[in-house]
Amino acid sequence: MKSYDVIVIGGGVIGTSTAYQLAKKGYDVAILEQNDIASGTASRTDGATLISDKQPGIDVLQGYHSVELYKKIAKEFSYDIEFKSCGFMYVCETDAEMAAAEDYAAKVRAQGFEMRVIDSKEMCEREKYLAKDLKGGLWTESDGLVNPYKVCFGFIEQGKKYGLDVYTHHEVTGIKLDARNQIEGVITDRGNFITNKVVNACGVWAPFIGRMVGINIPIEPRKGMLLVSEKTDIIANTEVIEFGYWLAKFFVDFKRPVSELVEKHNVCMNIETTHSGNTIVGGCRLFRGYDIRSEHEIIQAIAERAIRFFPVLRDINCIRTFGGIRPFCLDQLPIVSAVEEVPGFYIAAGHEGDGIALAPITGLLMSQLIAGEKTDFDIAELSWARFKGIDLAKLSARAS
Partner 1 sequence: MSKDLDDDMFVCRCEEVTVREIRQAIAEGARDVVGIKRRTRAGMGLCQGRTCEKMVQQILSQELGISPEETGTSSARPPVKPVDFGTLAKGVQ
Ligand X SMILES: Cc1cc2nc3c(=O)[nH]c(=O)nc-3n(C[C@H](O)[C@H](O)[C@H](O)COP(=O)(O)OP(=O)(O)OC[C@H]3O[C@@H](n4cnc5c(N)ncnc54)[C@H](O)[C@@H]3O)c2cc1C
* Residue ranges in contact with partner 1 by CB under 8 A: 36-39, 43, 149, 153, 156-157, 166, 168-169, 227, 229-231, 276, 278, 281, 294, 296-297, 299-300, 303-304, 306-307, 313-322
Residue among 117 and 303 whose Cβ is closer to partner 1:
303
Query: Torsion angle of alpha carbons 324, 17, 20, 360, nearest 10°?
Result: 150
Shortest Cβ 110–ligand X spacing (Å): 24
Number of neighbouring beta carbons within 10 Å of residue 44: 19
- Is 316 in a helix, a strand, or coil? coil
What is the rounded distance in angstroms from the CA atom of residue 241 to the CA atom of residue 264? 19
The footprint of ligand X on residues 251-290 (CB under 6 A) is 282-283
Of 205-224, binders to ligand X (CB under 6 A) are 205, 224
- Draw the binding track, 33-72, toward ligand X (x: CB under 6 A; -: no contact): xxx---xxxx-xxxxx------------------------
**Sole binder of ligand X in the list 6, 7, 13, 164 (CB under 6 A):** 13
DSSP code for 53: T
Which span sits near ligand X by CB under 6 A: 7-15, 125-133, 249-257, 339-347? 7-15
Q: Which amino acid is at 293?
A: R
Contacts of 173 (CB under 8 A, 6+ apart): 187, 188, 189
By CB under 6 A, the residues from 91 to 110 that bind ligand X are: none
DSSP assignments along 359-399, one per residue: HHHHHHHHHHHHTTPPPSS--GGGSGGGGTT--HHHHHHTT
Strands (E), 10-143: 29-32, 48-49, 88-92, 116-118, 136-140
Given partner 1, ligand X, none, residue 324, with its beta carbon under 5 to 8 Å by kind, binds ligand X
The answer to whether the beta carbons of residues 91 and 240 sit under 8 Å apart is: yes
- If the CB atoms of residues 10 and 87 are measured against ligand X, the closer one turns out to be 10
- Strands 29-32, 165-167: pairing is parallel
What is the total count of residues that contact ligand X (CB under 6 A)? 42
Residue 9 interacting with ligand X (CB under 6 A): yes
Considering only residues 329 through 388, tell me which ones interact with ligand X, judged by CB under 6 A.
349, 351-357
The entry of ligand X, partner 1, none near residue 87 (CB within 5 to 8 angstroms by kind) is none
Under DSSP, the state recorded for 351 is B
The footprint of ligand X (CB under 6 A) covers: 9-15, 32-35, 39-42, 44-48, 171-172, 201-203, 205, 224, 226, 282-283, 324-327, 349, 351-357
